[in-house]
Structure 1
Amino acid sequence: MKPIRLFTPILIKVSFVVSILWCIKSVEVLFNVDLGFLGVVPRELTGLVGILTAPLIHGSYSHLFSNTLPLLLLSTGLWYGYPKSRIRVLTVVWLISGIGVWLFARGATHIGASGLTHGLFFFLLVVSMFRRDKRSVVLMMIAFFMYGSMVLTIFPREPHISFEYHFFGALAGIVSACLWHNRDPKMQEKQYRWEQVEEDDPIIGDQWRE
């Protein structure tokens, strides 16, 4: 029950943050405002602001919806499983994915939170390989079961999808896992009675060991 009690308030907080993205898109639609200028425009000075703002902007409601569920699940997994490194991971993924797009991506306006989702997914995937404790493995299995296809979307597929954001987000997640996989303490393993070393039998002594 304790993990559930910890998981639920984290999910509520993450849901509140993700709802801000829906508010931004709703304002854009209701007031007929185009916030595309807040995206990352590679190798242009005006596009530098997008490094900070592009993950907040989406091209359509369907674009936003496709990022909402992964953000909810993966962010909750990060916040629950890695309380000491989560801010660092999120910051590095946010900045490195945007910087990578600005430096190396195609000439277009790149927007959306998919760089974040890929960064969080690859962090959960790679950090579990380093740690190999029950919590990290469970979080990785959940993430991989739901969004394992992200392994393929870091490569070019459709012209209108910014695979560069996916790629550099994934790269930032891997780097974060390599840097901070030991920052969070592992869960204390529960020892069951049958695992404990039994004392010698009072009648036969330690003959049973032979």
Structure 2
Amino acid sequence: MKQQNQFDQSFGKSIFPGALLLIVIWILFWADSLFLFPFFKLGVLPTELSGLKGILLMPLVHSSENFNHIFNNSIPIFLLTTLLFYFYKEIALRVLVFSWIFTGLGVWLFAANRGAYHIGMSGVIYSLVAFLFTSGTLRKYRPLQALSLFIVFVYGSLIWGILPISPRISWEGHFMGFIVGIILGFIYRKQGPQRPKYIYEIEKELGIEPPDLEGQYWQKVQEEEEKRAEEESALKIIYHIKNQDKEKPNSDK
């Protein structure tokens, strides 16, 4: 019962970041539909100073003219952030923040300036997918390896999104997010959940030599044999010889 309560509390906390992101992006989506303000200009415009603000704001903005854009991003970002904060709670916030910032920065630095703004959460989604897969593979910890397989099964087809298939899709954002996620997986491979160590691994790290039980057994056998040999060599046999040639008594009279 206690473990169940701990699971409920931990899982409940893990849901919060994803739920908060959903609330924000949907509020901005409806605001974009209701007001005349050009929200798309909050995105990244590569190599332009005016586009720098998009590094922080790009993931929050979605096209009000394309409902599928925000709908297709909502479920993945909620699921992936929940998995991130549940399995990697110690480093989850750092991974999310760095995925957010460096994906946008990569787009601003390296994407071609075609006069179009890059908007949407998909770059962060690609980064989280790449991180969860890379991190789970490197750690060699079964629960996280299972999570990696789940990510591949559900989101494996996203790999095609890093290719320039359509001019209306920010493949640069997908590609940058994917690269950032892999790099973060390597950087944080020693932090967060780790495979439980065996006793001999801990002793090796501490410089403690494990006992040589087999050697101790044969040493004891050898000592017992040597002791037995010493006892046998110390045994003395003393012979007493009686003279049987004494004169027999004469019975003749």
Alignment of 1:132-171 (within 5 A): 132-171=140-179
Q: Is residue 2:38 matched to residue 1:34?
A: yes
Per the alignment, residue 181 of structure 2 pairs with: 173
Q: How far off its partner does 1:7 sit? A: 2.3
Contact 1:81 1:135 in 2 (8 A): no
Q: How far off its partner does 1:62 sit? A: 1.6
Distance in 2 (alpha carbons) for counterparts of 1:59 and 1:17: 16
Q: How far off its partner does 1:92 sit? A: 1.4
Query: What code does the residue aligned with 1:179 have?
Result: I
Per the alignment, residue 198 of structure 1 pairs with: none
Contact 2:131 2:184 in 1 (8 A): yes
Alignment of 1:68-83 (within 5 A): 68-83=74-89
Per the alignment, residue 29 of structure 2 pairs with: 25
Higher relative CO (CA 8 A, sep ≥ 6), structure 1 or 2? 1
RMSD (CA atoms): 1.8
Q: How far off its partner does 1:147 sit? A: 1.1
Secondary structure of 1:58's match?
coil
Q: Which residue of the other structure, out of 19, 29, 38, is the alignment partner of 1:15?
A: 19
Per the alignment, residue 92 of structure 1 pairs with: 98
Q: How far off its partner does 1:12 sit? A: 4.5
Q: Normalised by the size of structure 1, how large is the TM-score? A: 0.83
Q: Deviations 1:5-49 (Å, cap 9, x if unpaired)?
A: 232442244223312110111111122332011110011100011
Structure 2's unaligned 5+ residue stretches are: 198-253
Contact 2:137 2:148 in 1 (8 A): no
Q: How far off its partner does 1:95 sit? A: 1.2
Query: What code does the residue aligned with 2:107 have?
Result: V
Q: Which residue of the other structure, out of 110, 117, 122, is the alignment partner of 1:114?
A: 122
Q: Is residue 2:51 matched to residue 1:43?
A: no
Distance in 2 (alpha carbons) for counterparts of 1:187 and 1:130: 11
Distance in 2 (alpha carbons) for counterparts of 1:159 and 1:175: 27
Query: What code does the residue aligned with 2:191 have?
Result: R
Secondary structure of 1:106's match?
coil
Query: What code does the residue aligned with 1:35 have?
Result: F
Distance in 2 (alpha carbons) for counterparts of 1:91 and 1:19: 18
Q: CA 1:13–1:95 in structure 2 vs 1: closer, same or farther (change >3 Å)? A: closer
Per the alignment, residue 126 of structure 1 pairs with: 134
Amino-acid identity (%): 35
Q: How far off its partner does 1:117 sit? A: 0.2
Query: What code does the residue aligned with 1:90 have?
Result: L
Q: Deviations 1:25-78 (Å, cap 9, x if unpaired)?
A: 111112233201111001110001100111110113221111111101111111
Per the alignment, residue 55 of structure 1 pairs with: 59
Per the alignment, residue 73 of structure 2 pairs with: 67
Distance in 2 (alpha carbons) for counterparts of 1:43 and 1:12: 34
Q: Deviations 1:137-185 (Å, cap 9, x if unpaired)?
A: 2222222222111122111111100000000001110110000012113
Q: CA 1:62–1:32 in structure 2 vs 1: closer, same or farther (change >3 Å)? A: farther
Distance in 2 (alpha carbons) for counterparts of 1:32 and 1:187: 53
Query: What code does the residue aligned with 1:89 have?
Result: V
Contact 1:135 1:187 in 2 (8 A): no
Secondary structure of 1:135's match?
helix
